[in-house]
Structure 1
Amino acid sequence: MLIMENLMTPAERRERISAEVTERSGISEAMIERVVRAFYAKVRADGLLAPVFDARIHDWEPHLSQMCAFWSSVLLMTGRYQGTPMAKHISLLVDADHFDRWLELFEQTACEICPPEPASQFAERARRIASSLELGIANANGLMLGIGERFRRPQEGKKP
């Protein structure tokens, strides 16, 4: 087995790993696409999140395709996504409330579409990603969050 692994190209090795993850988890490219499309349909109808996305995304198909590649890389380790998520999110005017709503919709969607174990894997990864992005955005706004602290933007008309 080790000799065969040494003879594999990186692409073949990644494909084998992805197939093993799919076999173990039940998560497939088709499942990822169903979750991504259903989730973003909810986002586009959400009063808090829709304006954030509408300000940036005008053609949804490329974004959905990119999000399928992202989640494929995250969950199946396919390496399909080559972007920089933090750079894309750092300038957004979002805070803990946005991340909480994003997670609520994402976890709800995963539970509606996936069996319990894959839904749990989607949700666990989403929580890590949301936490990382929230910390990065807070840091970009001059705040270093402590354990358990959340990033809250001052609301217009209110004193911080």
Structure 2
Amino acid sequence: MTDNPLIYPGAAHPDLREPMIAELVRTFYERARRDDVIGPVFAAAVEDWDEHIGKITDFWSGVMLRTGRYNGRPMRPHLILPLTAEHFDRWLDLFEATAREICAPGIADAFIVRARRIADSFEMARASQRGEFAAPRHSLR
């Protein structure tokens, strides 16, 4: 067995349940929509908030509980948005604060590890699309 939390089979944490994922996603987006840095990006990109929150709840359910409910390609929409390092940093700051508020410490840590790797993956893909190289910035902190 390994200590890498990303390759264990099954749930990311034994105490994590769907209602907690839904609360985390809903609370995060309530805050993100009001945020001066990332709020305008979301406002321009999201037309139906109920649909978006449902889709992202399914995404995190798949990431954290391996439910397989998410059916999509999360990278694609992010590649066309005018995102900067500041946007990714703010997204992570808000997400991490929300996870720590909503979840017990071990569960929050499991979300945060994955969120940081997702942010790195998106940033590196955006750099590659521009013919540049980007090293991971978040998963190493």
Q: TM-score range by the shorter chain?
A: 0.7 to 0.9
Opposite residue 67 of structure 2, the aligned amino acid is T
Q: For this pair of structures, how many residues does the alignment match? A: 129
C-alpha RMSD over aligned residues:
1.5
Q: Displacement of 1:128 after TM fit?
A: 0.5
Opposite residue 80 of structure 1, the aligned amino acid is R
Q: Is 2:11 aligned against 1:53?
A: no
1:87 pairs with one of 68, 73, 76 = 76
2:130 pairs with one of 126, 141, 152 = 141
1:120 pairs with one of 103, 109, 116 = 109
Offset from partner CA, 1:2-50 (integer Å, 9 cap, x none):
xxxxxxxxxxxxxxx75xx27x531111000000000000100000101
Contact 2:32–2:38, Cα closer than 8 Å, also in 1: yes
Which runs of no fewer than 5 residues in structure 1 stay unpaired? Answer: 1-16, 149-160
TM-score, with length taken from structure 2: 0.86
Contact 1:25–1:117, Cα closer than 8 Å, also in 2: no
Offset from partner CA, 1:46-76 (integer Å, 9 cap, x none):
0010111111112100000000000000000
Q: Which has the larger radius of gyration?
A: 1
d(CA) in 2 for partners of 1:130, 1:64: 18
Contact 1:138–1:144, Cα closer than 8 Å, also in 2: yes
What residue number does 1:104 align with?
93
d(CA) in 2 for partners of 1:98, 1:136: 15
Identify, as 1 or 2, the structure richer in helix.
1
Contact 2:25–2:53, Cα closer than 8 Å, also in 1: yes
TM-score, with length taken from structure 1: 0.76
Quick one: percent identity of the two aligned structures? 45
